[in-house]
Structure 1
Amino acid sequence: MNAGARNTLISPAARDALQVWLAQQGALNGAAENTITAYRGDVVDFLAFMTLHKGDSQGLGALARISISDMRAWMAQTRGSGVGPRSMARKLSAVKAFYRWLAEREGFEPTAVLSTRAPKFTRKLPRPLAVEAAHDMLDNVRTQARRPWVAARDVAVLTLLWGCGLRISEALALKGTDAPLAQTLRIFGKGGKERQVPVLPAAAAAIDHYLRLCPHPQRPEAPLFRAIRGGALGPRAISQVMADARMQLGLPASATPHAMRHSFATHLLDAGGDLRAIQELLGHASLSTTQAYTAVDTARLMEVYNRAHPKADG
């Protein structure tokens, strides 16, 4: 069933409520457009299922009477359609967020929905590149493109990911006003959260080299990183650059632009960096997210500790 058909199953009141909630997520909570799109799809799927499951259009009154057995039926149907536990957890999270807001607005008790538990899943640890592999990646990219300015651009972007821990979206959001790079960058991450990121001399030099070669005029409000024809550079182009490089280097498919950001975190920790300081640099809301980035190196450090500490044998 396509999105249009699912929408027709939802009552006008529920559709209006969903639209108000989504608008609030963007305006007040700073949710990104992709996040809002995902929320909309997840909640629409849920509301459409409840209409079919109950055999009647689910107005706001009916939505307030959703039971635990209704929730189990929705989860069983969704899992049966091939949705994995991780995606199921995301869908349930979106539905709970909508219901929490709706219950407060309409004055009903949302316990049946909020008490529903997501299926357990094993979190896949990120796979950072080894220091040597990260160096090899930059060296390969430096000679990969036919146009010298494009090669310099690609190296500059990847240097920001590895050297400053930026997300690819954050690096590509930089404007002409950000150059030349100062000693720190003011970055607006997920949800518009602001953080200050120190800039390594190597990153500043990579940007300067790219700008000297770039044939497109730099304007203050124009994107710092340009595509071949002068428009904004997209993340897919950088992903392809790394895909080509990792094939030549024999690196695994996990060697992606985001892996360069993982590498920033693990290499800092490996050098003695403080986990909470790294959390701030990455812009993580939760320390547990930073720990996931660095779990492999943390385990290795604990091995060293247990082997070398004077009390290890006692």
Structure 2
Amino acid sequence: MPDAPAPLLVFATPRLLALKAAWLDRLGGERALGPETVEAYERDLRQFLQFLARYHGRPVETADMADLKPVDLRAFLAERRREGAGARSLNRNLSGVRSFVRHLEREGLASSAGTGAMRAPKVPKSLPRPLSVPDARLVTEEAGAMATEPWIAARNTAVLTLLYGCGLRIGEALALPGDALADPKARSMRILGKGRKERLVPLLPAVLEAAAEYRRLVPFALSPEEPLFRGARGGPLRPQIVQAEMQRLRGLLGLPDSATPHALRHSFATHLLARGGDLRAIQDLLGHASLSTTQGYTAVDAARLVGVYDSAHPRARRAARGS
């Protein structure tokens, strides 16, 4: 496969770059998207603008975005596919471009008709991949095993226990202020999730105990104006650090690659459902806007039940032997 042409050093006009910056500010402010999501949108739009700049042989202008047609987007997605991007990445690329064009439309500078007419690539449906109950327990019990300092071990334990015990997204856990989880008698906590949607999550004793141990050992002052969870030098703990710690823990415990921090959130939902949890209550606990998103966990539980049937039912065992 030939190498893709090098992107132009200047791929958009100053006017368009200023509009791009305003769009990113809106995503992080008014729409309350997390830093990682905003970064992904920026990268997706930048890739598209670099593609258009190569096509035109000049920096992209606002008028070029106003005149976008489905054929332009198809050409971009075809190039990304040749570079090895999968259907999920292509959908995200398309979503970023559409969001920016809608921003231009609000400013009276473009119409979203062209991008709206473009059909997104089909993404194969995949079930969430939770950990088993024993593995989820093991992760929270051994979360600090790879840390070099006691307070970092306590921090890792508190974060992963929070993800599994409360079903939080990693960004929600890392956004908690320094005065969070300070009351050992608290039974619930308010979480501000995606789109500034607020929800109430219960606090298990294990979560409070892990948080109390972290608060006792952390060497930095925990004020309400600063984040609760800190990096080794005192700055905000970044998601990449938690993901790296989980990767090391997977190696130690012999867990599959699917055992990620986000898998603990899946495990929270799946294990509640398996023990008779109400689907709408789980939707509220997870902060899902749509029940259809939560219903994915019913398929996971159904798959588990089929597995139990296949391994335990006498008729199923005889069928497996071909009798």
Whether these two folds match at TM > 0.5 is: yes
Match of residue 133 from structure 2: 131
Q: Structure 1 residues 250, 2: closer, same or farther in 2, change over 3 A?
A: same
Hey, what does 1:115 align to over in structure 2? 117
Q: Distance in 2 between matches of 1:214 and 1:91?
A: 40
Q: What is aligned with 1:78?
A: 80
Structure 2 CA distance, aligned partners of 1:61 and 1:238?
43
Other-structure match for 2:270: 266
Relative distance call for 1:296 and 1:216 in structure 2 (3 A) is same
Q: For residues 221 and 163 of structure 2, what CA distance do their matches in structure 1 show?
A: 24
Q: Which amino acid aligns with 2:249?
A: A
Aligned partner of 1:281 in structure 2 is 285
Q: Matched residues in 1 for 2:187 and 2:171: separation?
A: 21
CA contact (8 A) 2:127 2:296 kept: yes
2-side partners of 1:250 and 1:276: how far apart? 34
Structure 2: how far apart are the matches of 1:59 and 1:97?
17
In structure 2, do the counterparts of structure 1 residues 94 and 150 end up closer, same or farther at CA, with 3 Å as the change threshold?
closer
When residues 134 and 34 of structure 1 are mapped into structure 2, their CA distance, relative to the original with a 3 A threshold, is closer
TM alignment of 1:59-208, pairs within 5 A? 59-106=61-108, 109-141=111-143, 145=147, 147-178=149-180, 179-181=182-184, 182-208=186-212
1:291 and 2:295 aligned: yes
Alpha-carbon distance in 1 for matches of 2:21, 2:150: 48
CA contact (8 A) 2:15 2:62 kept: yes
1:270 Cα deviation after fit = 0.8
Distance across 1 between alignment mates of 2:270 and 2:14: 50
Moved more, 18-27 or 123-132: 18-27
Does the 8 A contact of 2:167 with 2:286 survive in 1?
A: yes
In structure 2, the CA distance between the partners of 1:51 and 1:206, relative to structure 1 (3 Å rule), is closer
Looking at structure 2, the residues matched to 146 and 56 of structure 1 have their Cα atoms a distance apart, in angstroms, of 52
Structure 1 residue matching 2:201: 3-state secondary structure: strand
The verdict on how the C-alpha distance between 1:129 and 1:79 changes in structure 2, with shifts beyond 3 A counting, is: same
What are the ranges of 5 or more consecutive residues in structure 1 without an aligned counterpart? 306-314
**Counterpart of 1:242?**
246
Cα distance in 1 for residues equivalent to 2:41 and 2:211: 37
Equivalent residue, structure 2, for 1:310: none
Displacement of 1:89 after TM fit? 0.8
* 3-state SS in 2 of match to 1:19: helix
| Selected match of 1:254 from 244, 251, 258 | 258
Could you tell me whether the CA contact under 8 Å between 1:99 and 1:110 is conserved in 2? yes
**What's the CA shift for 1:301?**
5.4
Letter aligned with residue 156 of structure 2: D
Shift of 1:29: 1.7
TM-score using structure 2 length: 0.80
Aligned residue for 1:187, secondary structure, equals strand
Other-structure match for 2:317 = none
Would you say the 8 A contact 1:127–1:262 is kept in 2?
yes
Cα deviation, residue 293, structure 1: 4.8
- 1:264 is displaced (CA, Å) by 0.5
Counterpart mapping for 1:226-241 below 5 A: 226-241=230-245
- Counterpart-to-counterpart distance in 2, 1:62 and 1:295: 44
Q: Which runs of 5+ in 2 are unaligned?
A: 310-323
After superposition, give the CA deviation of every residue in 1:141-166 in whole Å (9 maximum; x if it has no partner): 36554644443332222211111111
Tell me the TM-score normalized by structure 1: 0.82
Q: Distance in 2 between matches of 1:226 and 1:166?
A: 18
Quote the Cα distance in structure 2 between the aligned partners of 1:146 and 1:65.
Answer: 56
1:197 is paired with a residue whose SS is strand
Q: Alpha carbons of 1:229 and 1:16: their partners in 2 closer, same or farther (altered >3 Å)?
A: closer
72 and 253 in structure 1: CA distance in 2 versus 1, 3 angstrom threshold: closer
Q: For each residue in 1:38-79, what CA deviation from the matched residue of structure 2 results, as whole angstroms up to 9, or x when unmatched?
A: 223322332332343245654333433333333322222222
Partners of 2:221 and 2:21 in 1: CA distance: 41
**RMSD across aligned positions (CA):** 3.1
Deviation at 1:104, TM superposition (A): 4.5
- The answer as to whether partners of 1:265 and 1:294 remain within 8 angstroms in 2 is no
1:311 aligns to what? none
Which residue of structure 2 lines up, in the alignment, with residue 50 of structure 1? Answer: 52
Deviations 1:2-29 (A, max 9, x none): 77x35x2323443333333333323322
Aligned to 2:41: 39
Note if contact 1:180-1:207 (Cα within 8 Å) is conserved in structure 2: no
